[in-house]
Amino acid sequence: MANILVIAEMSPDGKVRKSTHSAITFARNAGGTFSILVLGQGAKAAAAEVTGYGAQKVLVCDDAYLANPIVERFAPTVAAVAKTGFDVVAVTASSFGKDLAPRVAAKLGAGYAPDISGVKDEGGKLHYRRPVFAGNAYGNCTLDTAVQVVSARQSEFSAAEPSGGSSPIEDVALAEKDPAADRIEFVGLDAAKSERPDLGEARVIVSGGRALKEKFAEVLDPLANLLGAAVGASRAACDAGYAPAELQVGQTGRVVAPRLYFAIGISGAIQHLAGMKGSKTIVAINKDPDAPIFQVADYGLVADLFNAVPELVTELKKATA
């Protein structure tokens, strides 16, 4: 049975990101035991958020040197902790996790399985399932190194719920600094601020395509506001300037799996489907009855979106009045 080290990701406000809960779910599914490592400035306070998830212990490295998201500063400590008896290092496949994991693997001389969507223990050996060919097929792989590094897709591992109890908290020392970190300068964090849920954590997402043109926000915002949803976009809509790049859903954007996904004016190109077809329920609105999006949609409406979406908002308001 594997002993797994889950790496928690902290947000700029000093809290553990919800994306970390997907890595905890991976650890639970893999069997064995797991601990959680929280690193960053203010990590001591943040660690209290994850003590109720069944970890053997919560390890904390609270240091001002880790104040900024420079993974070259985090990797040495993660690798040092991993060498203290852990078989697997697990991160969520967020931008932070994807940046950190290969650096940790290099320091450990470890095999690395990125973007995994499933895990099972067969005869004491972990088998990882991961998408290939933009999610059109899946492959299974095993790693033969003493320590393994994996990144778990947030869209495939649901967020873990507290399991009760309270894991003990232990401090760990900051490892010797990596000279590579001295060549990195943190200039600033230019993060989009929104009252809407984060795309990766939203239960409902309303996404729009290029067909919305300059009316992208005018059409989608009322529906998103009514549902408390995040807003997403196809790559075509982002490339055309109708939506900011951080809203892009797809193979080269965010991979999401909400409970409810609206695809409005989105044809359903394979790159977009790769980022959202794991959604629990998909609703598509498109005037083209042959649009590929209808092949994956649970509910489809062939209609002019400029009429259908306002009518949908009106009817929802009536139903919730």
The answer on 135 and 208 residing in a single domain is no
30 is in which domain, residue-wise? 3-183
Same domain, 150 and 253: no
Do 16 and 113 have their domain in common? Answer: yes
Last residue of a domain, one of 183, 213, 239: 183
Q: How far apart are CA 15 and CA 159, in angstroms?
A: 16
Identify whether 62 is part of a domain: yes
Residues 6+ apart with CB under 8 A from 290: none
Number of Cβ within a 10 Å radius of residue 251: 17
131 and 174 in a common domain: yes
Angle made by CA atoms 131, 134, 138, in degrees to the nearest 5: 25
Indicate if 138 and 219 belong to the same structural domain: no
For residue 231, give the 3-state DSSP assignment: strand
DSSP single-letter state for residue 265: S
Task: Point out the domain boundary residue: 152, 183, 214.
Answer: 183
Neighbouring C-beta atoms of residue 310, cutoff 10 Å: 14
Inside any domain, residue 131: yes
Query: In 3D, which of 249, 258, 284 has the Cα closest to residue 135?
Result: 249
Q: Are 296 and 282 in contact (CB under 8 A)?
A: yes
**Residues written for the chain:** 321
pLDDT for 194 equals 72
Residue 215 contacts residue 240 (beta carbons within 8 Å): no
Q: Are residues 59 and 118 in the same domain?
A: yes
Residues 163 and 23 in one domain: yes
Residue of 292, 119, 313 lying closest to 222 (CA atoms):
313
**In-domain check, residue 58:** yes
Is 196 part of a structural domain of the chain? no
pLDDT of residue 191: 67
Sheet strands side by side (includes 118-122): 118-122, 125-132, 137-141
We report the CATH number of the domain holding residue 235 as 3.40.50.1220
On whether both 174 and 213 belong to a single domain, the answer is no
Taking the C-alpha atoms of residue 90 and residue 75, their distance in angstroms, rounded to an integer, is 13
Position 188 in a domain: no
Q: How far apart are CA 52 and CA 67, in angstroms?
A: 25
pTM of the model: 0.83
Joined tokens for residue 219 = 């059409």
CA dihedral 18, 24, 28, 30 (to 10 degrees): 120
Query: How far apart, in whole angstroms, are the C-alpha atoms of residue 75 and residue 243?
Result: 34
Query: How many domains does one find in the chain?
Result: 2
For position 62, what pLDDT does the model report?
96
pLDDT for 155 equals 84
The pLDDT value given to residue 192? 65
Does residue 197 lie in a domain region? no
Q: What is the DSSP letter of 77?
A: H
What CATH number has the domain bearing residue 152? 3.40.50.620
Give the separation between CA 197 and CA 247, rounded to whole angstroms. 12
Q: What is the pLDDT along the chain (321 residues), one digit of tens a residue?
A: 899 999 999 988 899 999 999 999 999 999 989 999 999 999 999 999 999 999 999 999 999 999 998 999 999 999 999 999 999 999 999 989 999 999 999 999 999 999 999 999 998 899 999 988 877 789 999 999 999 999 999 888 988 999 888 999 999 999 999 998 989 988 887 766 678 888 888 999 999 999 999 999 999 999 999 999 999 999 999 999 999 999 999 988 998 989 999 999 999 999 999 899 889 999 999 999 999 999 999 999 999 999 999 999 999 999 988
Asked if residue 147 lies in contact with residue 126, where contact means CB atoms within 8 angstroms, the answer is no
